[in-house]
Amino acid sequence: MAWRAERFLYPRTCAGSGKNILSIVAPDSSYQVFSNEYWYSDQWDGLNYGRDYNPEQPFFEQYYKMAVAVPRLYAFAFQNINSEYSNGSQQNKDCYLLFVSDRNEDCYYVYGIFACKDTMDCLNMDKSELCYECIDSFDCYHCLYGWGLRNCRDVYFCYDCSGCSDCFMCSNLRSRQYCWHNEQLSAEEYQKRLAGYDLGSRRVLVGLETEFRRLAQRAIHQYAYLVKCTDCTGDLLKNCKRSLNCYESYDLIDCYNLQVGVDSKWCRDCYVAVDQCELCYDCVSVVNSYNCHFCIATWHNRDCYYCDTCVSCHDCFGCTGLKHKSFCLLNKQYSETEYRQLREKAISQMQKAGEWGQFFPAQYSPFAYNETIACDLYPLTKEEVLKRGWRWQDNLPGTFGKETVKEVADNIKDITEQIIKEVLVCQNCQKNYKIIPQELALYHKQGLPVPDSCFNCRHLKRWQSRNPRKLWTRQCDCRETKHEHQERCSNRFETPYPSTKLEKVYCEECYQKEIY
Residues that bind Zn ion (CB under 5 A): 426, 428-429, 431, 453-454, 457, 476, 478, 480, 483, 489, 491, 507, 510
For residue 437, how many other CB atoms are within 10 A of its CB?
10
User: Tell me, what DSSP letter sits at residue 381?
Assistant: -
At its nearest, how many Å lie between Zn ion and the CB of residue 478? 3
Measured from the Cβ of residue 431, the count of other Cβ atoms closer than 10 Å reads 21
Q: With respect to Zn ion, which residue has the nearer C-beta, 219 or 426?
A: 426
C-beta closer to Zn ion: residue 133 or 166? 133
To Zn ion, the closest distance from the beta carbon of 509 in angstroms equals 6
Nearer to Zn ion, 94 or 209 (CB): 209
Distance CA(202)–CA(434), nearest Å, equals 17
Could you tell me the smallest distance in angstroms from the CB atom of residue 195 to Zn ion?
A: 33
User: From the CB of 156, what's the least distance to Zn ion, in Å?
Assistant: 25
Q: Report yes or no: 144 and 132 within 8 Å, Cβ to Cβ.
A: yes
User: Crossing angle for the helix pair 336-353 and 59-67, nearest 10 degrees?
Assistant: 120
Nearest-approach distance from CB 261 to Zn ion, in angstroms: 29
Q: Rounded to whole angstroms, how far apart are CA atoms 346 and 356?
A: 9
Question: Which residue's CB is nearer to Zn ion, number 164 or number 476?
Answer: 476
240 neighbors 253 (Cβ within 8 angstroms): yes
Which secondary structure element, helix H or strand E, spans residue 510, and what is its range? helix 508-515
Nearest to Zn ion of 287, 489 (CB atom): 489
SS3 of 469, please?
coil
SS3 337: helix
In the complex, what is the shortest distance from the CB of residue 474 to Zn ion, in angstroms, rounded to a whole number? Answer: 11
Q: Are 151 and 137 in contact (CB under 8 A)?
A: no
Max distance between CA atoms of the chain, in angstroms, equals 81
Q: For residues 297 and 507, which CB has a smaller minimum distance to Zn ion in the complex?
A: 507
Min dist. Cβ of residue 142 to Zn ion (A) = 27
Sequence-separated (6 or more) residues with CB below 8 Å from residue 327: 315, 316, 333, 334, 335, 336, 338, 339
Beta carbons within 8 Å of 247's beta carbon, 6+ residues apart: 234, 235, 236, 237, 258, 259, 260, 469, 496
Nearer to Zn ion, 92 or 233 (CB): 233
Q: For residues 232 and 510, which CB has a smaller minimum distance to Zn ion in the complex?
A: 510
Measured from the CB of residue 428, what is the shortest distance to Zn ion in angstroms?
A: 4
